Amino acid sequence: MSDTKQITLGTTAIEVIHINLRRTAFSIVNTDTSITVYISPDPLMTALTGYPIYPRESIEFHKKFGDDTRIKRYMIAASGTPVVAIDTETTEKTDEEEAEDAKNAK
């Protein structure tokens, strides 16, 4: 299942990805043409400590790449109020539920 939303950022970090044990991937597009945005799992992040997503660029996190897609992510803008587009992918079952199903199928 896929879900897409747009979020306006500012110069104070906000939570943009909530905990979800069923999330398998997400991507973030910085739709702004001139402002860099930053992402981090740290709620106390700043533009100095976050990972940059430059104007008109994107980043993807995926379980198959070894990323922990289930945890919270925070974002902040270098300045202004840029908009980011976020697309998340979820599965019907958590990893634990899949493992239990596989164990019971034997």
- In terms of Cα–Cα distance, which of 85, 75, 56, 86 is closest to 11? 75
Tell me the CATH number for domain 2-105.
2.60.120.770
CA dist 102 to 4, 50, 94, 97, Å?
Answer: 31, 38, 12, 9
**For residue 106, what pLDDT band results from cuts at 50, 70 and 90?**
low
Q: What is the pTM of this model?
A: 0.85
pLDDT, tens digit (0-9, with 9 covering 90-100), for 36-57: 999 999 999 999 999 999 999 9
**How many residues are there in the chain?**
106
The lowest-confidence range among 50-59, 62-71, 93-102 is: 93-102
